[in-house]
Chains A and B, each alone.
Chain A
Amino acid sequence: KAGVTQTPRYLIKTRGQQVTLSCSPISGHRSVSWYQQTPGQGLQFLFEYFSETQRNKGNFPGRFSGRQFSNSRSEMNVSTLELGDSALYLCASSLAPGAVGGEQYFGPGTRLTVT
């Protein structure tokens, strides 16, 4: 079974631009979460989607947004990029929010560098 895939893997953008990252979950998984990973900060939760609806949102500004499609694929968008947005953005999928065990499976991430 294919794992979680994320595209692109690497991205370099300039301050003020916007970016869209994509995530395809494991087949059959309907819940997708996004995280920002930076050294020393660990994984900061951005948001979680299930059945095309945002279930939870982390403490990030409104410049960070996301959506989920009917095939469970998800995108996140960051507008008006700032230098501090440079990070590894991780996508994780799981069967459903309330599934027993409920572990998440992570993709390789998209490395975003803002210059």
Chain B
Amino acid sequence: AQSVSQHNHHVILSEAASLELGCNYSYGGTVNLFWYVQYPGQHLQLLLKYFSGDPLVKGIKGFEAEFIKSKFSFNLRKPSVQWSDTAEYFCAVKYNQFYFGTGTSLTVIP
């Protein structure tokens, strides 16, 4: 079965710190890649996506992610986090269906 691994389960950062959340997947074929975010009390929303072209994709709220095919990775980054970035982040891979990671809970301390 295909799988998506998010290595960091809980991350705590101070405001202005840089963020990198890891995501690795197991399927070697053509995939679409996504990061979703779930803010406290809100539903999942799309942060960014990759399906072709430039492997460095930019999303909303200053987030970006880099697709490295050779490493089966799609890591999420943000240069400077804010308190409002406190949320749960999910990496997802789609080839015939969506596969989600178990999520990373990010807490940003003011």
Contacts and interface: CB of A to CB of B under 8 A. Distances in A.
Interface of A: 33, 35, 40-45, 48, 55-56, 59, 90, 92, 100-109
Pick the 4 closest A-B CB pairs, nearest first. Answer: A42-B102, A43-B100, A106-B44, A56-B97
Interface of B: 1, 32, 34, 36, 43-46, 49, 51, 90, 92, 94, 96-103
Contacts of B51: 100-102
Contacts of A92: 44, 98
Given A40-B102, A42-B90, A100-B51, A105 B46 contact: yes
B53 to A, nearest CB: 11
A45 B101 CA distance: 11
Nearest to A48: B97
A64 B75 CA distance: 33
Nearest to B1: A59
A108 B44 CA distance: 8
A90 B98 contact: no
A104 B102 contact: no
29 contacts: A33-B98, A35-B100, A40-B102, A41-B102, A42-B100, A42-B101, A42-B102, A42-B103, A43-B92, A45-B98, A45-B99, A45-B100, A48-B97, A55-B97, A56-B97, A90-B44, A92-B44, A92-B98, A100-B51, A101-B49, A102-B32, A102-B51, A103-B46, A106-B43, A106-B44, A106-B45, A107-B43, A108-B43, A109-B43
A40 to B, nearest CB: 7
Contacts of A101: 32, 49, 51
Contacts of A33: 97-98
